[in-house]
Amino acid sequence: MESNNVIGKNLEIFEVGPCENAYQMGFMIGQRFSKMIKSRLATDLILQNQLLPFAQTPKSQPLLQSLAITNKKKFPEYWDELLGTADGSGSPFLEIMLLNFRKEILPFVPQTTVDSKNDDDTNDDCSDILLVSDSMAVAAHNEDANVALVGHTYLIKGILSNGISFTAYTYAGELPSCAFGFNSLGMAFTLNSVPPTEEEIVAGAIGRNFVSRDLLEAQSIDDALKRVHSPEVSIGHSYNVIDIRTRRILNIETASRNRYSIREVGTEPFFHANMYLHLHVQQAGA
């Protein structure tokens, strides 16, 4: 089953599922947004000037192989979904893979291949203001990202075989969602990038896009916590997890080597952008 509607002039929502398997869901998404995905691949300067040249060097192969093996083993269905997206859009799987592991690969790209003048890889991504009181519960999210994403995003409403559905703001060619989303069980989340130093990064471990894709299927706030901090991630992230049914909002900061910190949002407004606030991690720019 599939349907699509256009919201405003630019943002399209595509309903997909239930599907026979994860590959089919990815294939249908890739097929529907083939033109947009190919456009992003062709115009993304970070992909074209940094990731692809690096991927063609012998030095990159152990890292790329480790990322593939580790994430496919931990999340086989989401890996199949990614394969389907590449096949459905008619795009090289390597390029789709590089997009989805951008943050896990860029720290290992030699500086000689980086054209900092033309490529915009800022850590100033997204920010949130969160508040929970007796009279209201608010999560206000500002979605900032690389200029290559302008005109290259869409909404996916995925209906799973178990009856759960999710809605996710999705970057073209990437798994839903490395931005924000919610599901039919009343669980929602927004994300904030955090920049650790190179010493804090574990090469070839679990990618953040796979963790946030898994988070879309969380059935409770406790289940969401397990999904966020159980994987051995390569690089950390900040997750704002929202349980609409219980009116709770948690900010979870994660880092490599199974480190995490949880802060529950209350009546005092809580602001989070692109720096760690309560997990003690060496971070870039600090």
pLDDT tens-digit series, residues 34-65: 999 999 999 999 999 999 999 999 999 999 99
| Type of residue numbered 205 | A
Domain limit, last residue, from 113, 137, 166: 113
Domain limit, last residue, from 80, 113, 146: 113
Residue 9 has pLDDT above 60, yes or no: no
Are 92 and 183 found together in one domain? no
Q: Tell me if 69 is assigned to some domain.
A: yes
| Type of residue numbered 254 | T
Are 173 and 241 found together in one domain? yes
Write down the pLDDT at residue 119. 57
Residue for token pair 């090289």: 92
| Type of residue numbered 37 | I
Task: Give, in degrees to the nearest 5, the angle at Cα 25 between 21 and 26.
Answer: 115
How distant, in Å, are the alpha carbons of 42, 89, 164, 176, 239 from that of 17?
A: 29, 17, 10, 14, 26
Cα end-to-end span (Å), the chain: 48
Beta strand 11-16 with 2-7: parallel, antiparallel or unpaired? antiparallel
Write down the pLDDT at residue 6. 46
- Domain of residue 230 covers 127-272
pLDDT tens-digit series, residues 192-234: 999 888 899 999 999 999 999 999 999 999 999 999 987 799 9
Q: Tell me if 282 is assigned to some domain.
A: no
pLDDT tens-digit series, residues 235-246: 999 999 999 999
**Contacts of residue 5, Cβ cutoff 8 Å, sequence gap at least 6:** 12, 13
| Closest alpha carbon to 206 in 24, 15, 70 | 70
SS3 52: helix
Domain limit, last residue, from 113, 136, 170: 113
